[in-house]
Structure 1
Amino acid sequence: MRYKWSFDVVKHRKKYFTFSIVVTILGILSLAIFGLNRGVDFKSGTTLDITAAGQAIDQAKAADLIGKAGLQAATIVVGGDNNDRVTARFEQVLSPDQVKSIEESFKAVYGDNVSKEENTVDTELAAELATKATWAVLIASVFIAAYVAIRFEWRFAVAGIVSLLHDAFIVISLFSIFRWEVNLPFVAAVLTIIGYSINDTIVIFDRIRENMRFAKKKTFDDLAKIVNDSVWQTMTRSINTVVTVLIAAVFLFIMGSPAIRMFSLAIIIGLASGMYSSIFIASPLWLVLKHKWPGKSAGKKAAA
């Protein structure tokens, strides 16, 4: 099924480009001023998961028990099926004696069934994880660009890489602006977003290339018609794919554990941004590049 209604995607391309540039600038300013709210994975510290075996734990009570051990947690989150698990993150690395003191404070109130799980990251490991996460995103982007260049052409590769970096940066910028925590699941979410973004983009690119084989392509308007037709011919597929994954991500965000909530939020933002960029950024950008550098077989260019 194809949508019987449509609008000219190409006609308003400058508005889409301007909007994305403004958001990018705001993101750069936020990152420069505030940086990212790095979680314990990228910042030295200790995270304790304490479970009280079916007994509900009150957040205020948990903070009080930690305070009795002479410590103060940066964040305290209560979760679990019966609110019987508390996750406390400390910005300093706790000693074994400090961890034992916290555990004993909880056992004194909730009994000997209290169990704990400790996750500690030192300064060197945190820096190494942050560096490797950055390289993972960059290397994935380079290989994707190389694949698209070989599979299609360099104009598609440039448009595709701009689109996926746009999506990744949108997610990173929003996490910086709203001070949401960034951890290893967040990096997994960004890599997932890159995959979904380029997948949607390639579907449209493939339809553009197919339509280019049979359509008249002598002027800018001819190319613009090809892009518009290709976008709307693949619109149903794009919407169905994104909505299907979006439903799952929304339910994970609402009903999932606190440990994957930020992962789900990043996926939700990235899916929306990915669909936007595939349609309104990547395809019009390819058109601009094709018009300016048409190649030997594109025919004579005309003014836009």
Structure 2
Amino acid sequence: MSDTTTSTPSPLDDSGVDQSTQPKHSWLSRLYTGTGAFDIVGRRRFYYILTGVIVLVCLLSFLVRGFTLGIDFEGGTRIALPAADNITTEQVETVYDDSLGMPPVSVQTVGSGAAATVQIRSEALDPAEVDTLRQALFEAFQPQDNSGTATPNAISVSDVSETWGSQITQKALIALVVFLVIVSIYIAVRYERDMALAALAALAFDLLVTAGVYSLVGFEVTPATVIGLLTILGFSLYDSVVVFDKVEENTRGILNLHRKTYAEQANLAVNQTLMRSINTTVIGVLPVIALMIIAVWLLGVGTLKDLALVQLVGMIVGAYSSIFFATPLLVTLKEKWGPVAVHTRKVHSKRAEAAARAAGLAPEPVAVGVATPKSSAPQPGNRPTGKRNKKRR
């Protein structure tokens, strides 16, 4: 009795390469080389769900918590006095509450050293309330002017109208619309329509999530925040365009080939630019963090803090959208209609036929025009006629 051995077919990838013979690399090595080992586009449904959950949380926060608007948007009175060594924000809040019978909106120390000041933000105060508060602060802390003389005039009071903040917001919205129109035209002309739609969707996601973080955490929205929102649009768009450029390079002429789908080549492009996207984000975030440290702990400048904060959130969100949302959305748009959808079905059909042949479920294709060799044995149905050839003379 003879022994028979059954060989297990080698696992082949879509390119016909035996994966069992390929060396194994760590995920850090695959991340650095960009070999396409991370199936980001193939798992796009998961990232769509994750993106949808993030958007839903932000929308709920808009409805439930709203935004903490700064004095430039709501209006009010701003009081500032020199911050001596013995003045704390808690003491200032106590004096304010005792003199006016209500707490201030916010009290913070801005600046450092001799230039440090205590800034009080409150609701709009009438002249009588301003005089009462100024006298109470002077009696409690004896602030000095630039000449070193203790005087109530060292306490500055200014009224802020909400119209200024609304004007800034209106101009920012106009700039945003113009920016989006120009960007859409450029991407549609330079690349294609679907890439423009995916880039705009990623930009909308970045704006929505950045605003959602402000709503969730309760960060104060100031004109610097609005300006910072405009600055992060360029960063997010730049990252998406770099990935799209690699997608265009990898998919050029793909409709004439049947080994790879558009989604697989797009996923390869994301992997090839993944390390670059991470490096760009880290390099961009580090100076912003340094700016926040200087603004908060050293200078106490609120404008720098607001600007750095929105840029920090926007850069991180923009990196996520360019990798996990923009390119997968582009592939989804491509595979819904048009020649890419037809090409994808053809590639999957050919792979299914190849898998069936490998499993012995389908006959091997016969090449057209190749003659099969004839056997010398008599074929069924061919019988001798019984006639002999006459011998020729």
Band of TM-score, shorter chain = 0.7 to 0.9
- TM-aligned CA distance change 1:294 to 1:110, over 3 Å: farther
2:100 aligned with 1:61, yes or no? Answer: no
Do the aligned partners of 1:56 and 1:82 also contact (CA within 8 Å) in 2?
no
Aligned residue in 2 for 1:300: 342
Code of the residue aligned with 1:147 in structure 2: it is: Y
Determine the C-alpha separation between the residues in 2 that align with 1:122 and 1:45: 7
Determine the C-alpha separation between the residues in 1 that align with 2:99 and 2:128: 10
Aligned residue in 2 for 1:142: 181
Do the aligned partners of 1:155 and 1:286 also contact (CA within 8 Å) in 2?
yes
Determine the C-alpha separation between the residues in 2 that align with 1:21 and 1:138: 24
Determine the C-alpha separation between the residues in 2 that align with 1:280 and 1:262: 27
> Over residues 73-126 of structure 1, what are the superposed CA-to-partner deviations in whole Å (9 max), with x where a residue is unaligned?
111112322493212111x22345544544444444233227455553324444
Say which SS state the counterpart of residue 213 (structure 2) adopts: helix
- TM-aligned CA distance change 1:203 to 1:64, over 3 Å: same
Q: Choose which of 3, 6, 20 in structure 1 pairs with 2:51.
A: 20
Q: Which runs of 5+ in 2 are unaligned?
A: 1-28, 147-153, 349-393
Sequence identity, in percent? 27
Deviates more, 1:127-136 or 1:176-185: 127-136
Do the aligned partners of 1:155 and 1:289 also contact (CA within 8 Å) in 2?
yes
Determine the C-alpha separation between the residues in 2 that align with 1:57 and 1:207: 58
Shift of 1:252: 2.0
Code of the residue aligned with 2:82 in structure 1: it is: T
Determine the C-alpha separation between the residues in 2 that align with 1:110 and 1:219: 83
TM-score (norm 2): 0.68
Code of the residue aligned with 2:320 in structure 1: it is: Y
TM-score (norm 1): 0.86
Aligned residue in 1 for 2:40: 9
Q: How many residues align?
A: 300
- TM-aligned CA distance change 1:124 to 1:206, over 3 Å: same
Aligned residue in 2 for 1:39: 70
Deviates more, 1:124-133 or 1:192-201: 124-133
Q: Which has the higher contact order (CA 8 A, sep 6+)?
A: 1
Say which SS state the counterpart of residue 78 (structure 2) adopts: strand
Code of the residue aligned with 2:89 in structure 1: it is: Q
2:297 aligned with 1:267, yes or no? Answer: no
1:126-205 maps to which residues of 2 (within 5 A)? 126-205=165-244
2:119 aligned with 1:87, yes or no? Answer: yes
Shift of 1:217: 6.4
Determine the C-alpha separation between the residues in 2 that align with 1:217 and 1:78: 66
Determine the C-alpha separation between the residues in 1 that align with 2:48 and 2:74: 35
> Over residues 166-186 of structure 1, what are the superposed CA-to-partner deviations in whole Å (9 max), with x where a residue is unaligned?
011101111112222111111
Aligned residue in 2 for 1:242: 281
Determine the C-alpha separation between the residues in 2 that align with 1:118 and 1:226: 62
Say which SS state the counterpart of residue 88 (structure 1) adopts: strand
Aligned residue in 1 for 2:367: none
Shift of 1:195: 1.0
Q: CA RMSD in A?
A: 2.8
- TM-aligned CA distance change 1:119 to 1:286, over 3 Å: farther
Deviates more, 1:198-207 or 1:70-79: 70-79
Q: Choose which of 105, 117, 142 in structure 2 pairs with 1:110.
A: 142
Do the aligned partners of 1:50 and 1:85 also contact (CA within 8 Å) in 2?
yes
> Over residues 218-275 of structure 1, what are the superposed CA-to-partner deviations in whole Å (9 max), with x where a residue is unaligned?
6795212221221122223222221111011112223313503233222222111111
Determine the C-alpha separation between the residues in 2 that align with 1:116 and 1:144: 48
Aligned residue in 1 for 2:251: 212
- TM-aligned CA distance change 1:46 to 1:141, over 3 Å: farther
Do the aligned partners of 2:335 and 2:341 also contact (CA within 8 Å) in 1?
no
Do the aligned partners of 1:93 and 1:122 also contact (CA within 8 Å) in 2?
no
- TM-aligned CA distance change 1:153 to 1:23, over 3 Å: same
- TM-aligned CA distance change 1:291 to 1:59, over 3 Å: same
Determine the C-alpha separation between the residues in 2 that align with 1:41 and 1:227: 45
Determine the C-alpha separation between the residues in 1 that align with 2:75 and 2:259: 55
Aligned residue in 2 for 1:227: 266
Q: Which runs of 5+ in 1 are unaligned?
A: none
Code of the residue aligned with 1:67 in structure 2: it is: D
